[in-house]
Amino acid sequence: MRDKSQNLTRRAAITGTGSALSVAAFSRLSASAQGAQKKTDRNQVDSKSLAGLAAAKGLAFGASFAVHELDRPHGERYAEIYRHDCQVIASELCLKLAVLRPAPHVIDFDPADRFFAFAAENGLGVHGHTLIWDDYVPDWTKTLSRDEVDHLLNAHILTVLERYQGKAETWDVVNEPIAPWDKNPGNLRQGPFYGRLGEDYIAKAFRLARQIEPNAKLRLNEAQTESADENGAVFRKSLLALLKRQLDQGVPIDAVGLQCHLQTKRPYDFEQFADYVAELLELGLDVEITELDVNDNAYTGSLAQRDQQVAALYSKFLTTVLANPAISSLVLWQMSDATSWMADPNIRDSLRADGRAARPLPYDKNFQRKKAWTAIADALEKIPARAARKGNAASDAVRR
């Protein structure tokens, strides 16, 4: 339920002068959330869980998390899986502009406060997804002037990062800036931010985020770079060029997130993708897997046969790509088929010709482990240990 007292004037919402209230709420939140011991000590992690197997190699493992799932009948089982198998959680919905700011004069922090409370209560690290994304934007942002978009970018980043200061180890400052179908220079995505501010919106966002959150890892997160086809090649080339332009201007990007939503209708050459990861590392950036799942819509046969093919793809992807010890974080996009975005009937990509539901994740719709869980676990046991690096919770745990 939105806190009516947080209703702000249109200008205040955009300029952020209404953020005083959020600071007060923020101080309450930090009081309650302080003292939470992040689950980075291996003694707190079951060594045979996905989190424990990953931590043994200095890898932080987790998945996206949606607070509204806690209110569904499977809520307790859902929470239990994250407590057992995850060290980090990514905010799937609650920190998106459309959820936080459904209308020009409203900021709704309730779901995000609940998300951070769950993370703090369960000692989970947080990847804040995402501050600025030129997709899924609320309709009211599409009619803003250049100045209003500029104010919104500043006010939004300021308000969110102030409220959750120190609560997220990583922030997706900009998500999916590439969209070749929009035919913009550099293949950048069209939207209120690019449309009004040009490519500069990216530098503005990262510079402001760095100012407010000097200790968080600031990440640019992108999709569709993985496939061995023309689409993947265009995304890889466009992302590499964008990162070079930003870094050449001294934009404070610490990491690049590669989402890795594997589409079984597309061809893959994971060795080629691993080479691309190495190219990104050459830029001096951390490289992280941020939204891994397998859309099995091209797989036929029985559920058991499909699950076997999905497991094999997880195994091939993880053992090839995580053979590089520089990758420090592996995050899936949910843990159960029941809560995957592909279970959403409105998502066209997941529709199978046979009308059956997608089976993309390590737990099935009844929250029971699948072959994919074992494949991920086996891959984690096979990959080399990560180079211990400062600020990587999992490798800190390993060092301890």
Would you tell me which residues interact with ligand G3I (CB under 6 A)? 92-93, 96, 136, 175, 223, 259, 291, 341, 344
Closest approach of ligand G3I to the CB of residue 344, in Å: 5
**Measured at CB, which residue is nearest to ligand G3I?**
341
Token readout for 373 is 């869980």
CA dihedral 147, 152, 153, 154 (to 10 degrees): 90
CB of 354 to ligand G3I, least distance (A): 22
Q: How far is the CB of 221 from ligand G3I (least distance, A)?
A: 7
* Closest distance of CB 130 from ligand G3I, Å: 6
> Nearer to ligand G3I by C-beta: 321 or 397?
321
Residue 29 or 131: which CB sits closer to ligand G3I? Answer: 131
Q: Which two tokens stand for residue 383?
A: 């990959």
Nearer to ligand G3I, 26 or 273 (CB): 273
Which structure tokens are listed for 92?
């799937």
CA contacts within 13 A on the Cβ side of 381: 8
DSSP string, 224-275: S--BSSHHHHHHHHHHHHHHHHHHHTT----EEEE--EEETTS-B-HHHHHH
CA angle 119, 126, 170 (to 5 degrees): 165
Which CB atom, from 22 or from 259, has the smaller least distance to ligand G3I? 259
Distances (CA, A) of 129 to 47, 50, 133: 28, 22, 10
Smallest distance from the beta carbon of 96 to ligand G3I, in angstroms?
A: 5
Which of residues 70 and 323 has its CB atom nearest to ligand G3I in the complex? Answer: 70
The nearest distance, CB 176 to ligand G3I, in angstroms, is 6
In angstroms, how far is CA 249 from the centroid of its own chain?
A: 25
Q: Annotate 255-271 with b (16+ C-beta within 10 A) or e (fewer).
A: bbbbbbbbbbeeebebe
Closer residue to ligand G3I, CB minimum distance, 127 or 386: 127
Asked if residue 79 lies in contact with residue 55, where contact means CB atoms within 8 angstroms, the answer is no
